[in-house]
Structure 1
Amino acid sequence: MIRFEDVSVTYDAAPGPTVQRVDLIVPEGELVLLVGPSGVGKSTLLGTVSGLVPHFTGGTLRGRVTVAGRDTRTHKPRELADVVGTVGQDPLSHFVTDTVEDELAYGMESLGLAPDVMRRRVEETLDLLGLADLRDRPIATLSGGQQQRVAIGSVLTPHPQVLVLDEPTSALDPAAAEEVLAVLQRLVHDLGTTVLMAEHRLERVVQYADQVLLLAAPGEAPVLGDPAALMARSPVFPPVVALGRIAGWSPLPLTVRDARRRAGALRERLAGAEPRRATPTEPTPAPGTGRRWAGLRRERTAEALPGVVAASVARLAVRRGRVEALRRVDLTVTPGETVALMGRNGAGKSTLLSTLVGLLEPASGTVRVGGAVPHRTSPRELIRHVGLVPQEPRDLLYADTVAAECAAADHDADAPPGTCRALVDELLPGIADDTHPRDLSEGQRLTLALAIVLTTRPPLLLLDEPTRGLDYAAKTRLVTILRGLAADGHAILLATHDVELAAEIAHRVVILADGEVVADGPTEQIVVSSPSFAPQVTKILAPQEWLTVSEVRRALDAGGGEPW
């Protein structure tokens, strides 16, 4: 179905090819998962299939890519639209209409399908993706995850032969992600659709892959093969594979079910051990974090945390148009505490963060951040109390280069020159000063936005889906920095669907549903009891209450010897 013949792509002014020596065939009716660290060219490779590379992105494409017999060098994206459906990392850039139903129909209208066919397919897609209740909603009023589902639905309705998906579950809650992946499985197995997908959250998708296409490092030729075999050599891998590696299992398990079947001896070895976790009052920084951050610590940080409460919300209600997004919400976050805000798409997580940073005004109730009322405080003053990294990092990026963005961030925060740049290097090394922010991947843009916000060293840091687009290595670096901030007394509130991140870093988990708080407690109590929000390690080692691979590794190292 898809043939790559000695393909390489080189962008203008780039020192070398972004991808090269791609020579392989993707068979019809298979789900192929692209795996690799950030910046190795996964999105570029996907773009060559849809025709976006080089017709839209520019650069030089050498070799040949054919899809259903059509050469993408001579067929522009609109000439491939009937056979290739594409969803990129940013769903907002995908939309051309205003409402959900119109967006689902637009692609079919462009292809000239009959009205009765269009109506039937729209209804089928609304049901498949759980969008029926949103059919008349303006797309601009939807949450990020809901927009992601609409974007996926809009390419499903024309029934393409090939689906190209870049981070399709990154903004989805666990249940919604499972629904979308189940739909993709049905398309692959029942209709013979070929799916080519890049995804960093491998714990969600690797078990569904027929084959893995591994891009291990920039410049290396991709390798197509068996998922378990390639996971054994991949530089990025999900927790189930990480647990299998330290346990010495072969072949490596890709599913929780397979891992549970092999985990009896490991559970016995861990039976007498207790997980070593941080507490809300004593957050534990990663090794070396204090030294790393010493040069970036600012004197006013301690002055900005005079009280015991970094943020307090009481009986909060917020309306967004006709929708009551939040109601009767009570929440307190203290200095040094990391709180994960979780819940299904549209539950009100982003609304709560926006209210804390003054972007939305409460309909009723009270909101205080460091003694300030956010919606009544000037932005210049508010950044001394709170900083927000939004879901869409481009909202914070205005300059033409990374260096200019960092210089502006240092100036706005009254920070020493180079502070922001050092943060960028810490989170995601290798981003050049003269790179334009729009040329960065979604994960790299998020990293830059995070560095800009962290430059002010806000006492309260708000993050909305901070690991979207980040690979496991980048996520580990993010966790190290956030632990360092918590150890220095900063309060952190992050809205996330990443259960592995919550298990790794959160002292508390707060779950929202339909705008209300339905659970609030220590991480181990909340996630262990929830099938939806439990991390992979918890599911594998239950009934023991382990959350992360690092906890298991520390316990095994402390006990000495091999677990079997």
Structure 2
Amino acid sequence: MTAIELRDVSVTYADAVEPVLREVDLSISEGELVLVVGRTGSGKSTLLGLLNGLVPYSTGGTVTGTVTVHGRETSAHRPRDLADLVGVVGQDPLAGFVTDTVEEELAYGMEQLGLPPEVMRKRVEETLDLLGIAELRDAPLADLSGGQQQRVAIGAVLTAHPKVLVLDEPTSALDPTGAEEVLAAITRLVHDLGITVVVAEHRVERVLAYADRVVHVVDGAVESGEPAAVMRTATVAPPVVELGRWADWSPLPLSVRDARRLAGDLQSSVVEVQAPQRLPRNPIVLSARSVSVRHGDLVAVREVDLDLYAGEVVALMGRNGAGKSSLLWALQGSGRRSGGSVTLGGGDDAVDPGDLAPAVRRTRVGLVPQTPTDLLYLSTVGAECAQADTETRSAPGTCRELLDRILPDIDPATHPRDLSEGQRLGLVLAVQLTARPDVLMLDEPTRGLDYQGKAALAEVLRGLADDGHAVLLSTHDVEFTAIVADRVVVMAGGEIVADGPTRDVVTSSPAFAPQISKVLGGGLLAMDDVVRAFGERR
């Protein structure tokens, strides 16, 4: 049975010269798990928004053609009239919450549908267990980590038992283990209940092995088919697919397990890559001693000691709720610090960043938060970039040049609210990088970025490090860590439990090991390592 059908659908937003989607024909069967892939800003979120009428009812613009979901044409129904049929989880879960606590949020959608109290109670309990968030039942939503908020947002949709579940970047804020748990739960919904799931995800490596079908969005057009066939030429590809393309394997591997079955001869010829000797440390740029952070009765950070060195990119990793974001804000100076000391610089110039005026602090310690829109307040992309140049006394065009390196071809007249999540992140990164602070901190900087965008960001961050800056990024993205980080610090329960060279730390953990390492071993972390070891093409 057909669950979703698009016929000759085009979408053009107001003032746009070209349609973002053009003459799309797409048919999705009931009970399929469909993965939507494409470059940042390609139109994936627009495609998802069509499925419950958010496009055009909430976004504006013009839609031609027909979109039918389980027999209902979305043009004849507003999003609220499709709430019993289509559940949607957006990129920013906090923006979608309407209550104060986890249990209230899980029950809210069912209340709007008029379900009996005994049914609501049973579904809330089932969902708490399904997503592993029972201990958060009474927790305030605002106090949850980004990953915990993501699970609650998914749970709030699942309690309504929709026939179609639409997820936009559902694992972007989750640690690797949490992402596997959520995806396993979603897969059970598909297999056991026949729910149709449509997922747009930039971390393709996490979802690809679960997908029944891949929809590739490129240049306003849509290609749909078997995952291996579509990924052979897709504009985005996870490391395991890149490895399969490079080695010309057939069938193309979609998972680490698939690749390992094909990699026997490669594995046998891998020469163990020795981790480079630790060079003498550059000067310490920022030093933390016994830093603690409390949120009420919760100890988020517990007496942490950490040194950041000039010329080094450090990845801060750990499960959701480990205290990574709290530590970043405490180090940067604008966040809460319950105890300990933070020193920026050395000698007579040493200063606590918390004592600096905000305008000065920005030039010394920059921080890009998980919600980058908090830092955008002007009406156009061009205005944001021009303001960044002015505030940092940089040459005109500096911010725009940085933006083009990360995400090229964004119209300067576009309002930041009209950008995709990844594009907004790219803009905030460019704004913060314009100041070229001594220490740059980033909280989940790859959310919404495709693989090309991540590679460009890695190049920018490496350039900063090469110029003597220190970079500290909190991330769950093990593939990004593999290409950018010199050192990995792992947190658990508010404490640092591991600190060492990237190769040593990530390869010792099944959760943090990148795909190439899992397939080939030998100290190889990314495709660049494979090319260096074996050549451009096998």
* TM-score bracket, shorter-length normalisation: over 0.9
Counting only pairs closer than 5 Å after superposition, residues 403-552 of structure 1 correspond to structure 2 as: 403-542=382-521, 544-552=522-530
Q: Return closer, same or farther for 1:117/1:278 CA change in 2, 3 Å cut-off.
A: farther
**Contact 2:128/2:137 (CA < 8 Å) preserved in 1?**
yes
Partner of 1:228 in structure 2? 228
Which residue type is aligned with residue 219 of structure 1?
Answer: G
Could you say what secondary structure the match of 1:310 adopts? Answer: strand
Residue in 1 that maps onto 2:19: 17
Q: Is the 8 A contact 1:207 1:255 kept in 2?
A: yes
| 1:184 counterpart residue number | 186
Q: Which residue of 1 aligns with 2:208?
A: 206
Structure 1 residue aligned with 2:93, among 80, 91, 94? 91
1:262 corresponds to which letter in structure 2?
L
Residue number in structure 1 paired with 2:75:
73
Tell me the amino acid that sits aligned with residue 289 of structure 2: A
CA-atom RMSD in angstroms = 1.5
Between the aligned partners of 2:35 and 2:248, the Cα distance in structure 1 is: 24
The answer to whether structure 1 residue 145 and structure 2 residue 147 are counterparts is yes
- Retained in 1: the 8 A contact 2:247–2:537? no
TM-score normalized with structure 1 length: 0.92
Moved more, 141-150 or 489-498: 141-150
Distance 2:274 2:63 in 1: 51
Q: State the Cα deviation string for residues 112-141 of structure 1 (Å, max 9, x = none).
A: 111111111111111111111111111111
Instruction: Name the amino acid aligned to 1:269.
Output: S
Match of 1:127 in 2: 129
Identity score, percent: 60
Gaps of 5+ in 1: 283-306
Query: What is the identity, as a one-letter code, of the residue corresponding to 2:285?
Result: A
Structure 1 residue 547 displacement after superposition: 0.8
Distance 1:532 1:45 in 2: 32
Indicate how the Cα distance of structure 1 residues 87 and 279 shifts in structure 2: closer, same or farther if over 3 A, else same.
farther
**3-state SS, counterpart of residue 363 of structure 2:** coil
Residues 49-108 of structure 1 deviation map (CA, whole Å, 9 limit, x = unaligned): 011000111000100001111111110010000010001111122100011110010000
SS in 2 for 1:328: strand
Residues paired across the two proteins, number: 532
**CA-to-partner distance for each residue in 1:22-49, whole Å, 9 max, x for gaps?**
1121000000000111111100000000
Are the aligned partners of 1:247 and 1:266 in contact in 2 as well (CA < 8 Å)? Answer: no
Q: Which amino acid aligns with 2:259?
A: A
Question: What is the rounded CA distance, in whole Å, between the counterparts of 2:283 and 2:55 in structure 1?
Answer: 53
CA apart distance, 1:20 = 1.2
Letter in structure 1 aligned against 2:283: V
**Does the C-alpha gap of structure 1 residues 233 and 278 become closer, same or farther in structure 2, counting only changes over 3 Å?**
farther
Name the structure 2 match of 1:294.
none
Match of 1:363 in 2: 338
* CA distance in 2 between partners of 1:361 and 1:334 (Å): 23
- Alpha-carbon distance in 2 for matches of 1:426, 1:275: 32
**1:265 CA drift (Å):** 0.7
Deviates more, 1:319-328 or 1:482-491: 319-328
Q: Distance in 1 between matches of 2:405 and 2:169?
A: 24
Contact between 1:280 and 1:507, CA under 8 Å: does it hold in 2? no
Q: State the alpha-carbon separation in 1 of the partners of residues 388 and 339 from structure 2.
A: 34
Give the conservation status (yes or no) of the 8 Å contact 2:275–2:504: no
1:315 aligns with 2:290: yes
Deviation of 1:520 after TM superposition, in Å, equals 0.8
Question: 1:372 corresponds to which residue?
Answer: 351
- Name the CA distance, whole Å, in 2 between partners of 1:423 and 1:252: 35
Match of 2:335, as an amino acid? L
Match of 2:369?
390
1:45 is aligned, of 44, 47, 67, to 47
Q: Aligned residue for 1:335? A: 310
CA-CA distance at 1:426 after TM superposition: 1.1
Q: CA deviation at 1:369?
A: 2.4
What letter matches 1:11 in structure 2? Y
* Paired residues of 2:270 and 2:520 also in contact (CA < 8 A): no
CA contact (8 A) 1:11 1:17 kept: yes
Residue deviations 1:449-507 (CA, integer Å, cap 9, x gap): 00000000001000000100000011111111111111111100000000011111111
Q: Shift of the alpha carbon at 1:274? A: 3.2
